[in-house]
Structure 1
Amino acid sequence: MKAAFEFTKGKLPLLVSIPHAGTALTPEVEAGLSDAARPLPDTDWHIPTLYNFVRSLGASVLVGNYSRMVIDLNRPSDDKPLYTTATTGLFPDTLFDGSATFLPGRAPDARQRQAALEAVWLPYHQQLQQELERLKAEHGYALLFDAHSIASRIPRLFEGTLPDLNLGTNGGRSCDALIEEHLAARMASQQQYSWVVNGRFKGGYITRAYGNPTQGVHAVQLELAQRNYMDEQPPFGYREERANALRPLLEQLISAMMSSAQQIA
């Protein structure tokens, strides 16, 4: 079985988590996928490539290897819903557009899902927690940047077109107010990309579970509209010219998070 994640240890007090870029499948999931799910449309395609600059900066990077069709790393292990509006669960039975994930009668059974929880979900979160503890012990605080992307139009999940950048801080509870303020100011300082703070995407389980500013752990989630760096239709091609235009702003956001955290510390 493929490893649950790929991890790079850095020297900065920053961990970049990328839970939804994986495409690996367990045999039972691969055999049972519907035609709509087989292209893995709900993947955060190319996010490790888009954020490849963070390694050279010295950040730690954690990337999930398995598709969210196997198990969603950004949902709680008890599968408690994160949103009152339409969403998907720990073991997605429907795609974002409402289509069935699996052929009739072909979804993994309870035993297979428990195995995915133990072999994929738990190792990712153990590594995430372990690294945050290491960073805090070494630097006095830890920063968690949870990197995501999604198609810009999904009527089942939200009305109209999604803003280009969707920053989530769990309503201001997952990071210090100064960090949120500086990130918002950096997005407001440019006019190329639309943005919102704590709009439709306020942060998933990772942001909510690990962000604890009173304990020196500051977490944010950035949900990107995929139109800004890739094709949103299969085969989901990477658009390097768009990515190169977007990447400087992402670098500025990472820089703003780190500089504001240093002021707090």
Structure 2
Amino acid sequence: MDLAGKVAIVTGGASGLGRATVEAYVAKGVKVAIFDMNEANANEVIGQLGADNVAFWNVNVADEDSVKSAVAGVVEKFGAIHICNNYAGIGSACKTLSKKGVFPLDQFMPVINVNLVGTFNVSRYAAEQMANNEPINDDGGRGVIINTASIAGMEGQVGQLAYSASKGGILGMTLPMARDLASYGVRVNTIVPGLIHTPLFEMMPEPVYKSLEASVCYPQRLGKPAEIAHLSVFIAENDYVNGECIRLDGAIRMQPR
């Protein structure tokens, strides 16, 4: 896919991995719709990259009406949707059973709803609009969906149950969604990040931070949001990448704790 002049949705695009991807897309000539709930951060991104290139919708990804309305708004403003990146997500820290009792369902379900259901929710409405596009290449391609899982979806640690389940679900959706959408010329892939240096890590004590860096095989550091964004650009541009879950993790394999 030639990215110049294309339109992308980036959920969670106001910060972290999403923001880095918004910046990378705009540099390639993409118009970007940020779906997020942090309007202040989104306005900062718009101020940096320009209101002609980036627009913001306040979206709860787990809410059907919120997503459906925002997707329609993107098409109205930019004319089409060619790329959809799902980064929006939340975490939790709770064991299945501990001295406090069982994992409360009201703490488990929000993680599933935002991370897994939200990814599916945005993907399906984005795909619906991509199917309306005229083919953009000789293969009949019309768009690409790029979801975000985590190595926790494969190697979840103690206390990561809800987060791991949600990310494992995203991994499991990748191939069947790619197969579902193949006849429409819509590709589906999933990025599987390892330990990426987001603002969360800046709040950690230095010994903890250094220990996490040392756990990475090579290069022995945390990943950079720009490296995730670079992979996203590659997936969008390379029309033969489809149905893949691509780890970007410095060959780390998470231990139980």
Q: Please, what TM-score do these two structures have when normalized by structure 1? A: 0.38
User: Where is the helix percentage greater, Structure 1 or Structure 2?
Assistant: 2
